Amino acid sequence: MTNEAWETLSDQAATVCGVVYFLALLSYSAQWASLRKLPADETPQSGQVAVWGRFGLLLTGLGCAVHLVSLVGRGMAADPNRVPWGNMYEFVLSSSFVVVLAFLVFYRKYRLDWLSLWVVGLVWITLMVAMILLHDRVAPLAESLSSPWLVIHVSAAVLATGIFTLGGLVSILFLIKERQEKRIAVREAELVPVGGGGDVAAAQAVPRTGILARVPSSKSLDRLAYRLHAFAFPVWTFAVLIAGPIWAQVAWSRYWGWDAKEVWAFITWVVYAAYLHARVTAGWKGRNAAIVALIGFVTLLFNFIGINYFFGGGSKHSYAEDAPAVVQVISAAELTSQL
């Protein structure tokens, strides 16, 4: 197959992938539209609702496979063949793949059926944005990117970004669920003087309906969000504070130079470190910790999008070209005075 054929295959696969995810989204929407009206502790294992759910999962799996084809095609289309992490489009394609893959891998273990609608929706939107706004042709890498460290550094960054995204999604759900739980608690407390104890018990006994009722308790959401972040944080540490500096030392002669991208990777690291601390600090647990995690996610996104768009020329990490050699010239007299 020629490089052009691979590139076409990749683009077509991405399009098919978008369609499949959209169909999965429709199936899940149909499933949830019906589930919404049922009591939360009653999940039909057969019948229309169950079929929609299974169909959605099947489509998600299929979409994930096509997603992989698109990534592989991207790598094969480059000359020489390489990992598909050469520009923003490829990075988004890869990170969103990690999100779907991680969701499918942990689907059984953490019983993530309640997350399906949100994950597929998020990934579908991300993919659409990537295809419409970020799409770029397969291009040879800038010289300084041609290094084995590209594989090590960027794969870790892609993996961490994907898992942080899932973690952020769960944190948002946590905030919503926690709010709802508080409201319910308040409502029940108000019921006590009016109706007496019997009614409260009755109110609690009646299973609730609605989408939120099917989302696990805020306590389990918090734990799941923590696990995702706790997995992604060391990976991010490796990507930006070990692999990145080693590569920067080899390519740019310094392991840390406060380049705009480095600054924001550091900020992201510090904010997620703050999240891990907040989770064990009195007064910060729960709601505040989740907000810190979401701030971390915003810095992650900003580093990815903001730096490339607003600081493109100023960052050595702009994908397109090597930054021009900066020449700062001073006279010999000044040189000696610096020693």
Partner 1 sequence: MAAPDLGFVEMMRWAWRQLTSMRTALILLLLLALAAIPGSVVPQSDVDAMRANNWKADHPDLTPIYEKLGLFSVYDSVWFSAIYLLLVVSLVGCILPRLRVYWRGFRAAPPKAPRNLTRLPDSDSYLTDAPTDEVLERAAEVLRKRRFRVVVADGAVSAERGYLREAGNLVFHGALLVVLAGVAMGSLMGYQGGVIVWKDGSFSNNLTQYDDFKAGRFVGVEDLDPFRFTVDDFDVEWIDDPTNPRYGMARKFVAGIRYTEKPGAEEKSYDLRVNHPLSVDGTDVFLIGHGYAPVITVRDGEGEIVSSGPVPFLPEDQATFTSFGVVKASGATPQIGLEGMLYPTYSGDPNNLGSVFGSLGNPLISMQAYVGDLGLASGSQSVYVLDKTNMKLLGGTTENLFRVDLCPAKIDGEENARCETSTVELPDGAGSVTFEDIKPWVRVQISQTPGKMVALGGMIAALAGLLASLFIRPRRMWVRARREDDGSTVVEVAALDRSSGGEVGEEIVEVVAALKGETVKEEL
Residues 260-289 that bind partner 1 (CB under 8 A): 260, 263-264, 266-267, 270-271, 273-274, 276-284
**Angle subtended at Cα 291 by Cα 276 and Cα 154, rounded to the nearest 5 degrees:** 60
Helix locations, the chain, DSSP H: 3-35, 48-77, 88-106, 116-129, 148-149, 155-195, 197-205, 211-214, 218-238, 244-252, 260-278, 287-301, 307-310, 332-337
**Angle subtended at Cα 163 by Cα 57 and Cα 222, rounded to the nearest 5 degrees:** 90
Which residue lies nearer to partner 1 by CB, 19 or 105? 105
258 binds partner 1 (CB under 8 A): yes
CB atoms within 10 A of CB 66: 20
Which residue lies nearer to partner 1 by CB, 190 or 321? 321
DSSP-derived secondary structure letter, 141:
P
Query: x/- binding map, residues 136-155, to partner 1, per CB under 8 A?
Result: xxxxx-xxx-xx-x------
In angstroms, give the least distance from the CB of 243 to partner 1.
Answer: 10
Which residues, other chains included, contact 296 with Cβ-Cβ below 8 Å and sequence gap of 6+? Answer: 164, 168, 268, 271, 272, 274, 275
Which residue lies nearer to partner 1 by CB, 38 or 142? 142
Query: x/- binding map, residues 100-119, to partner 1, per CB under 8 A?
Result: --------------------
Angstrom distances, CA of residue 79 to CA of 1, 3, 7: 13, 7, 11
Query: x/- binding map, residues 293-322, to partner 1, per CB under 8 A?
Result: ------x-------x---x--x------xx
Which residue lies nearer to partner 1 by CB, 132 or 326? 326
332 binds partner 1 (CB under 8 A): yes
- Nearest CA to 64 out of 91, 113, 103 is that of 103
| Helix, strand, or coil (residue 182) | helix
Binding segment for partner 1 among 8-16, 160-168, 192-200, 259-267 (CB under 8 A)? 259-267
Query: x/- binding map, residues 202-241, to partner 1, per CB under 8 A?
Result: ---------------------x--xx--x--xx--xx--x
Buried b (16+ CB within 10 A) or exposed e, 160-178: bbbbbbbbbbbbbbbbebb
Binding segment for partner 1 among 14-22, 33-41, 195-203, 323-331 (CB under 8 A)? 323-331
334 binds partner 1 (CB under 8 A): yes
72 binds partner 1 (CB under 8 A): no
Window 238 to 257, contacts with partner 1 (CB under 8 A): 238, 241-242, 245-246, 249-257
